[in-house]
Amino acid sequence: MRILVSGASIAGPALAYWLHRYGFEVTVVERSATLRKAGGHAVDLFRPAMDIVEMMKVLEPIKARATGIERLGFRLENRLDRRYEIEIRRLIGAVSDRHVEIMRDDLSEIFYEATVKTTEYRFGDSIASLSEDPAGVEVTFEQAPPERFDLVIGADGLHSHVRRLVFGEESGFATWIGGYLCVITLPNYSNLDDVSEAICGVNRMAGIYAVPDVADARAVFLFRPARELDYHYRDVARQKELLRKAFNGVGWEVPRLLSELDHTPAFYFDSITQLRMDTWSRGRVTLVGDAGYCPGPAVGGSTSLAIVGAYMLAGQLAVAGGDHTLAFAAYESEIGDYVRRSRAFAMGAVKHLIPAGQGDLRKLIVVSRAVKHLPLPLTRALTRLSNTGLRLHDSVKLTDYSKP
Ligand SMILES: Cc1cc2nc3c(=O)[nH]c(=O)nc-3n(C[C@H](O)[C@H](O)[C@H](O)COP(=O)(O)OP(=O)(O)OC[C@H]3O[C@@H](n4cnc5c(N)ncnc54)[C@H](O)[C@@H]3O)c2cc1C
């Protein structure tokens, strides 16, 4: 059975690994000319994703390339002389029993290397059209000649092309959940190592972090305007102008970070958007990872969700012996609860991530003190009270599909 996967970042290669393990023949098409190795941003693997990467035998290389960021130092816009610190390790330890933070492109490369011998990767191409008949899917490509596949899976991210071809425009499913996110690459001019530094104000925060073995640093900007912004996603000049306006007058390192906008080799700017689809399968096509159910970049643990989704989709196809009608329904039903809880969590996280008022800023200071002073078991016990909240990832149960 031949399966075409679109996208070679996280969900695509993880899916290719498990599909191959269950005996399917996999081709992955990726729009970028090569595997992205610019580093990207830091992403999180929580317990279920950690269990899956262990089964994929890539846990050790992942741990070896963990970012190692232990502490977040921050100051408030109106009190620059006072620095607070949150011990991120302790905070995450309370949220998840098993966690690693790693740069997205490092993770992608590790998954690629684990699958390159058993998967056909085609870089620098994209699906152009899909037409389904009872026996399969006829696929045309932008570069390669047309081909037939039994199934097609979109793992091509939040702005998925496969989703647009099959379900229609993104605007029909995407909801702005109240924030904007920008990440740029810049020189690690202040020699940061295991500490990330930030400045927080009402409705905006900016920070900088570096990662061992990565020469440059990342600046992150998060802000919440009163209403949705008007810009075209390809209009980088306008996006930079909007960012400068949002951080106008902020002190600390922010003028220096903004000046890097003129030279940065990598600029990412997007709205914090949540996808809400009731179903992400149609006929012989389904979606996995951000393409199908992104709860919001940087707010909903979407990398773990993408890895768990890939594992469940491949597993359900194996259980159903390749019958996509049974498998896609079982996949959606199995991951549905995790998706819904991730969405709900992201709605709350976006509010807390970008302080909405002086009260939120005060809470941040309280958290920094509590994390330092509360014994870890107590912090854990508090966060464990609700599995719809912080412990949502660790509460996911994985099925062993290799057992009948
Ligand atoms: C700035 C930022 C910060 C984030 N921070 C975190 C975090 O702290 N923690 C966390 O867990 N997650 C975070 N995320 C989210 C995380 O990056 C994603 O959830 C994760 O990468 C999802 O993987 P994916 O494979 O589904 O999609 P993506 O990583 O988006 O990959 C999609 C792939 O599809 C390819 N593609 C696109 N169009 C086509 C096409 N037409 N044809 C072929 N290929 C195509 C792309 O080039 C890409 O390789 C963050 C995201 C962003 C943007």
- Ligand 1 centroid–CA 154 distance in Å is 12
Question: Residues 177-206: pLDDT tens digits?
Answer: 989 999 999 998 888 887 899 999 999 999
Is the pLDDT at 394 greater than 50? The verdict is yes
Measured from the CB, is residue 44 less than 6 Å from ligand 1? yes
Measured from the CB, is residue 161 less than 6 Å from ligand 1? yes
Helix locations, 275-323, DSSP H: 290-293, 302-319
Measured from the CB, is residue 106 less than 6 Å from ligand 1? no
Is the pLDDT at 231 greater than 50? The verdict is yes
Question: Residues 299-347: pLDDT tens digits?
Answer: 878 999 999 999 999 999 999 999 999 999 999 999 999 999 999 989 8
Q: For the sheet containing 151-154, what is the strand order?
A: 120-123, 25-30, 2-6, 151-154, 285-287, 281-282
- Rounded to whole angstroms, how far apart are CA atoms 270 and 182? 7
pLDDT at 386: 44
- Ligand 1 centroid–CA 10 distance in Å is 7
Q: Element (H or E) spanning 85, and its range?
A: strand 79-87
pTM of the model: 0.93
Measured from the CB, is residue 122 less than 6 Å from ligand 1? no
- Ligand 1 centroid–CA 325 distance in Å is 27
241 band by pLDDT with thresholds 50, 70 and 90 = very high
Taking CA atoms, 132 is separated from 75, 105, 137, 322, 345, in Å, by 56, 33, 4, 17, 36
- Rounded to whole angstroms, how far apart are CA atoms 299 and 297? 6
- Ligand 1 centroid–CA 249 distance in Å is 32
385 band by pLDDT with thresholds 50, 70 and 90 = very low
- Ligand 1 centroid–CA 172 distance in Å is 20
Question: Residues 74-130: pLDDT tens digits?
Answer: 999 999 999 999 888 777 777 777 889 999 999 999 999 999 999 999 999 999 999
How large is the angle between the packed helices 302-319 and 324-353, nearest 10 degrees?
A: 170
Residue nearest to atom 53 of ligand 1 (CA): 297
